[in-house]
Amino acid sequence: MADGTESESRKLLGRLREAMATDEAGQARLDRITHLIADSMGTEVCSIYLFRDVDTLELCATEGLKPESVHQTRMRLGEGLVGRVAKSGKVVNTPDAPSAKGFRYMPETGEERYSSFLGIPVQRLGEKLGVLVVQSRDAREFSADEVYALEVVAMVLAEMAELGAFVGEGAALSPLHQKSAMFRGGTGQEGAAEGHVWLHEPRVVITNPIADDPHREMERLNEAVDELRVGVDKMLEMSQNGDKEQLQVLEAYRMFANSKGWMRRMEEDIARGLSAEAAVEKEQSLARARMGQVQDSYLRERLADLDDLSNRLLRILTGQGKQTGAELPPDPILVARNIGPGDLLEYGRSLKGIVLEEGSVGSHAAIVARALAIPLVVHAERITTEALNGDQILVDGDQGVVHLRPEESVVSAFRDKIAMQADAQARYASIRETPAITKDGQHINLVMNAGLMADLPSLESSGAEGVGLFRTELQFLVRNQMPKRSELVALYSRVLDAAKGKRVVFRTLDIGSDKVLPYMKPTDEPNPALGWRAIRVGLDKPGVMRMQLQALIRAANGRALSIMFPFVAQAEEYHAARAEVDKTIAREKVLGHPLPETLEIGAMLETPSLAFAPQKFFDDVGFLSIGGNDLKQFFFAADRENERVRRRYDTLNSSFLSLIERIVERCGISGTPLSFCGEDAGRPIEAICLAAMGIRTLSMRPASIGPVKSLLLRTDLGELRKIITDARHRGVQSVRPAVMDWLSQNP
């Protein structure tokens, strides 16, 4: 194939198809393929390197290098020219390999005789499988046609590997999707679960990567693209009255669907011998590779649009829709690249766990997972390319670890952990009705966080004394248009009914940052956590705030009502929001609607600035709730979405406890009720220390109430406060070691 013609390319792919159709073992098939490629390319050498693990490549077949080096020659990712191709995912084409950047001589292969080197990554949809290499004695650079043709061959090799065509002895030739795999991610929601994989987006399997009839494949591609274009046009017609952002996405879809360049490249791939499906996937793989290298957020979004469009086209061509015929297992663990809150709520409590390749600890999916108390791991890279429907999977949300197709020893240890947690929960159930009164007689009010009606049964089952935080944004996030006031009135009324007289604190709409409404134009902010969010949005868009306040007042219907404004950074913001409440109350009175029996208006203290507000603010505010997650990230300047830094700083750090102490003292002077809300409130060690610092109300997820109460009942807060004070006076960075030592001596 030295002339690089299309007919020669098709001829080689035809020979590859014959090799794939034989009953030969994987090694023999690989050996035959390297011979075919070297012969067709007119080169002395063709070698195939495959990954034996995520960091190591192994020479699995060669024509031209020393046969004894097969399965003996290995290199790390980035090592040598082959490792460079594997790491970058880019072609290396050089006429003088020994002088090329990164060259490493492998004496056992005998490659010193060869000057020219062409390395092509073998990858499928962003999953790196190996490297295809051709070499020749002549010092020449391979032509663009030759590079293109070998890329087509690499694409077919990737599909053949996916179909199990190269299974043999050794790690590099072990079957795909059968080995045990462990993924380390981030904790989105704590808890542990065992189950079986349910893919939100089932993998499209291409069984015919090589075209039998290129003309027929061209027809199939054109028919599928026409169907795709019609579908996009219909979506656009149906969304004409929708929000601008959704229309922009669909316009981008239409632009790509009608792109002549996209179509031309797929037609060229078919002309080279690929099937229509393989041609689409080749373009999709290139787009995913570019997506990982592009820093510009707009370009990344557009490449993501192209990726989604390619998926739609593949499903049309293969007939493999989302409904694959597979049945949802009785213990489903959802695996997805990402998922919206609406889709997640459709699954509901049927899910035992969730694993996302993307996502974040503050994403919509994490909010819903916490509301449903479903263990969630985020940032589990590559899991969607590795997992198959029905695979056994273990999710450890506490550690942010996922075990796919685990070995029996791992399963046994994991089940022991779940059994211990179940035993502990049984013990906690026995103290459900017991008030959380410490050994020195201090009553700690334990309340729960909620955001869905489905959470409210936990009020009774967990022993919570009320709802310290009801997140109202979920009802705005899970729909494509602003909810009606009447719908919110009905929902908030049901929440108060379900609480049966227990106090419910409604937090007003906390949007912005990572919680952008589908129908709200996103603001492209460099640091959204510090940007236009929460109370700032409410004060700038008072119409939405007033509508929500009206809904809350009408839902109360004469009952007690507690409202809390999020992310208040200075006293003026609270006073402005409070003025909106007063206006709304006055208007509701004129309209003849019943007013709340009692009305509490509070604020979340999530910024250090509010801790230093004038004392008059503490006199005026109805109550304060420390938003621990945000306050900690701003105090330590450590983004809680950043795994590198978010675990670096301890809640029991002496400096942070000094801030907590100041807030407690200032609330004490004014007699202002104070609570602590966040992940740390539900961690027993942190919870007892916060109580020892003077906080008497802790708001947490329902499952944490039992463990926290159990430890509080055994704790003398006065003694613990002395331990904390002594440690701080000694100048320690964190009081945790001193606290743990004290607990070990006072079991």
Place of tokens 């299974």: 167
Q: How deeply is 514 buried, as exposed, middle or buried, from its count of CB atoms within 10 A (0-12, 13-18, 19+)?
A: middle
- Token pair 């947490």 is found at 700
Does the annotation mark 689 as catalytic? no
The structure tokens listed for 228 are 């795709």
Single-letter amino acid code for the residue at 144? A
Distance CA(354)–CA(335), nearest Å, equals 6
217 three-state secondary structure = helix
Distance of CA 270 to the CA centre of its chain: 35
What are the structure tokens assigned to 402, written together?
A: 């996922």
Provide DSSP, 704-727: HHHHHHHHHHT--HHHHHHHHHHH
What is the secondary structure of 107-166 as a DSSP string?
GGGTGGG--EEEEEEEEETTEEEEEEEEEESS--PPPHHHHHHHHHHHHHHHHHHHTTTT
Tell me if 329 sits within 8 A of 198, measured CB to CB.
Answer: yes
Could you give the 3-state DSSP secondary structure of residue 393?
strand
Phi, psi (degrees; rounded to nearest 5) at 129: -110, -30
| H or E segment and range at residue 49 | strand 45-53
Residues in the chain: 747
CA 379/CA 359 separation, integer angstroms: 6
Q: Are 508 and 531 in contact (CB under 8 A)?
A: no
Q: Measured between alpha carbons, how far is residue 668 from residues 130, 600, 605 in Å? A: 65, 18, 15
Q: Is 394 exposed, middle or buried (0-12, 13-18, 19+ CB in 10 A)?
A: buried
Place of tokens 């429907």: 389
Catalytic residue, candidates 46, 60, 667, 677 = 677
Tokens of 730: 């000694």
In angstroms, the first-to-last Cα distance of the chain is: 77
Q: How many CB atoms lie within 10 A of CB 154?
A: 25
Residue whose pair of structure tokens reads 């409210």 in the numeric block: 456
- For residues 594-614, b (16+ Cβ closer than 10 Å) or e, as one string? eebeebbbbbbbbbeebbebe
Give the whole-angstrom CA distance, residue 734 versus residue 720: 14
Let me know the angle formed at the C-alpha of 555 by 571 and 558, rounded to the nearest 5 degrees.
Answer: 90
Q: Which one of 364, 379, 403, 667 is the catalytic residue?
A: 364
Distance CA 133, CA 111 (A): 12
Helix (H, G, I), strand (E, B) or coil at 74: strand
Catalytic sites, residue numbers: 364, 677
